[in-house]
């Protein structure tokens, strides 16, 4: 898995969609994601906390802290949010609206425009780079649109969730 975050024009997503379709990637589904960044209300050992909810993984919520990543079911979302209110305050909510494309080897490439408080912030690309054609397509996409180097892939959902820190840093 590789995650790229680019501060770009809001229309770049359309150009990337055209590129993906022209390279035989197939539209799979709409992808919505929400990242909530929290700050502590009291002195705590952990200085950062964020949660991630995704429409493509509707039964999961990721809770990311300095000490690691916890994966919970979405039925826990109301409980998590209620408990967080006692020691954490929502600082910002980032919302991503975009699309999932399936590459020729069944690897997924997700793209979305990220907004915070209604204003455009940038473009998020999340790719299953464990699949050769998806990795190749991501590299070609990065080269064509001048997105910089594709980061080294990470293994597992927990490490993927940690990479989302780039959105708010």
pLDDT in tens, 39-81: 888 887 777 889 998 888 878 888 898 888 888 877 777 887 7
Torsions phi, psi for 21 (to 5 deg): -65, -40
Owning domain of residue 31: 2-167
Torsions phi, psi for 120 (to 5 deg): -65, 135
Q: What is the tally of structural domains in the chain?
A: 1
For residue 118, what are the contacts with CB-CB under 8 A and spacing of at least 6? none
- Spatial distance between the Cα atoms of 110 and 148, rounded to a whole number of angstroms: 17
* CATH number of the domain to which 54 belongs: 2.40.320
pLDDT at position 169: 67
From the number of C-beta atoms within 10 Å of its C-beta (0-12, 13-18, 19+), residue 11 rates as exposed
CA distances from 110 to 4, 17, 55, 100, 122 (A): 10, 10, 11, 4, 14
For residue 61, what are the contacts with CB-CB under 8 A and spacing of at least 6? 51, 52, 53, 71, 72, 73, 74, 76, 77, 80
pLDDT at position 18: 97
The DSSP-derived string for 43-95 is --S---EEEEEESSSTT-EEEEETTEEEEE-GGGHHHHHHHHHHHEEEEEEEE
Question: In the chain, which residues have pLDDT < 50?
Answer: none
Tell me the whole-structure pTM to 2 decimals. 0.88
Strands 26-40 and 49-54: antiparallel
């Amino acid at each position: 898995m590789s995650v790229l975050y680019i501060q770009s024009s809001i229309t770049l997503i359309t150009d990337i969609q055209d590129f993906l379709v022209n390279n035989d990637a197939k539209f799979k589904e709409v992808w919505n994601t929400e990242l909530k960044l929290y700050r502590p209300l009291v002195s705590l050992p952990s200085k950062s906390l964020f949660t991630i909810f995704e429409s493509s993984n509707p039964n999961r919520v990721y809770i990311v802290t300095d000490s690691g990543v916890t994966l919970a079911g979405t039925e826990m979302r109301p409980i998590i949010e209620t408990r967080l209110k006692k020691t954490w305050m929502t600082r910002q909510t980032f919302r991503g609206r975009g699309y999932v494309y399936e590459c020729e080897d069944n690897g997924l490439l997700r793209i979305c425009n990220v907004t915070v408080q209604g204003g455009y912030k940038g473009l998020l690309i999340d790719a299953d780079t464990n699949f050769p054609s998806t990795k190749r397509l991501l590299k070609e996409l990065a080269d064509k649109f001048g997105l910089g180097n594709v980061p080294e892939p990470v293994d597992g959902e927990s490490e993927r969730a940690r990479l989302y820190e780039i959105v708010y840093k």
